[in-house]
Structure 1
Amino acid sequence: MRLVSLLSIIFSFFAVVAILSTSPRSAAAGQPSGVPAWLNSHIGEGDGQIALPVLQRARALYLRKVSEGVVRNPCYFAMDATRPGDLGGGKLGRRFYIICEAHRSFRAISAGHGSGWSLKGIANFANGKQCVKNFGNAQDSDLTTGGDYVTGETKESFKGFYRASTKRDLVFQRTFVQFDGEGETANARKRAIGGHAAEVLKSMCLRKIATSPYADKDGYVPFGKLVDYTGGRSDGCTSWSPSDARQIIRMVQGNPTTLYIYPESSDIAAVAQSVAAGRPLSQAGLYWNASCLKQIGSPKFWSRKTLEPIIARYERDHPALPPQPLPICKEP
Structure 2
Amino acid sequence: MAALLFGGPQASVAAQQPSVPAWLSAHVGFGPGQIAWPVLSRARALYMQRVSEGKVKNPCYFAMDATKPNDPSGEKTGGRFYVICEASQSFRAISAGHGSGRDLKGAADFSNGRECARNFGNAMDSNLTTGGSYMTSEVKTTFKGYYRASGMKDAAYVRSFLQFDGEGETANARQRAIGGHAAAKVSGICMMKNPESPYANHDGYVPFGTLVTYAGGRSDGCTSWTPADATQVMSMTKDNPTTLYIYPESADIAAVAKAVGTHASLTQAGLYWNDDCLKEISTPKFWPKTTLEPIIVKYKQDHPPPPSKPIPICATQ
- Structure-2 separation of matches of 1:67 and 1:285: 29
Distance 1:40 1:246, change over 3 A: same
Q: Secondary structure at the match of 1:249?
A: helix
Residue number in structure 2 paired with 1:309: 294
Contact 1:24 1:35 in 2 (8 A): no
- Unaligned stretches of 5+ residues in structure 2: 1-13
TM-score, normalised relative to structure 2:
0.93
- Unaligned stretches of 5+ residues in structure 1: 1-22, 28-33
- Structure-2 separation of matches of 1:255 and 1:133: 33
Residue number in structure 2 paired with 1:81: 66
Residue number in structure 1 paired with 2:239: 254
Residue number in structure 1 paired with 2:3: none
- Structure-2 separation of matches of 1:82 and 1:155: 28
Q: Secondary structure at the match of 2:181?
A: strand
- Structure-2 separation of matches of 1:25 and 1:241: 35
Is 1:107 matched with 2:105? no
Is 1:239 matched with 2:224? yes
Distance 1:298 1:89, change over 3 A: same
TM-score, normalised relative to structure 1:
0.89
- Structure-2 separation of matches of 1:184 and 1:134: 15
- Correspondences of 1:197-208 after superposition (within 5 Å): 197-208=182-193
- Structure-2 separation of matches of 1:80 and 1:90: 16
Residue type matched to 2:216 in 1? G
Is 1:126 matched with 2:103? no
- Structure-2 separation of matches of 1:181 and 1:162: 35
Q: Secondary structure at the match of 1:126?
A: coil
Residue number in structure 2 paired with 1:228: 213
C-alpha offsets along residues 101-152 of structure 1, whole Å, 9 cap, x if unaligned? 0000000000000000011111110000011100000000000000000000
Match of 1:44 among 16, 26, 29: 29
Question: Any runs of at least 4 consecutive aligned residues in structure 1 with deviations exceeding 6 A, and if so which?
Answer: 23-26, 87-92
Match of 1:325 among 292, 310, 316: 310
Q: CA deviation at 1:173?
A: 0.7
C-alpha offsets along residues 209-260 of structure 1, whole Å, 9 cap, x if unaligned? 1111211121111111000001210000000000000000000000000000
- Structure-2 separation of matches of 1:307 and 1:185: 15
- Structure-2 separation of matches of 1:262 and 1:277: 23
Contact 1:134 1:302 in 2 (8 A): yes
Residue number in structure 2 paired with 1:142: 127
Larger Rg: 1
Q: CA deviation at 1:323?
A: 2.2
Contact 1:84 1:93 in 2 (8 A): no
Residue number in structure 1 paired with 2:171: 186
C-alpha offsets along residues 74-97 of structure 1, whole Å, 9 cap, x if unaligned? 000000000001388987751000
CA RMSD of aligned residues (A): 1.7
Query: Sequence identity of aligned pairs in percent?
Result: 64
- Structure-2 separation of matches of 1:98 and 1:309: 37
C-alpha offsets along residues 259-294 of structure 1, whole Å, 9 cap, x if unaligned? 000000000000000001110001110000011111
Q: Secondary structure at the match of 1:114?
A: coil
- Structure-2 separation of matches of 1:106 and 1:35: 13
Q: How many residues align?
A: 304
Match of 1:274 among 240, 249, 259: 259
Contact 1:87 1:130 in 2 (8 A): no
C-alpha offsets along residues 28-49 of structure 1, whole Å, 9 cap, x if unaligned? xxxxxx1111112210011110
Distance 1:271 1:53, change over 3 A: same
Contact 1:272 1:300 in 2 (8 A): yes
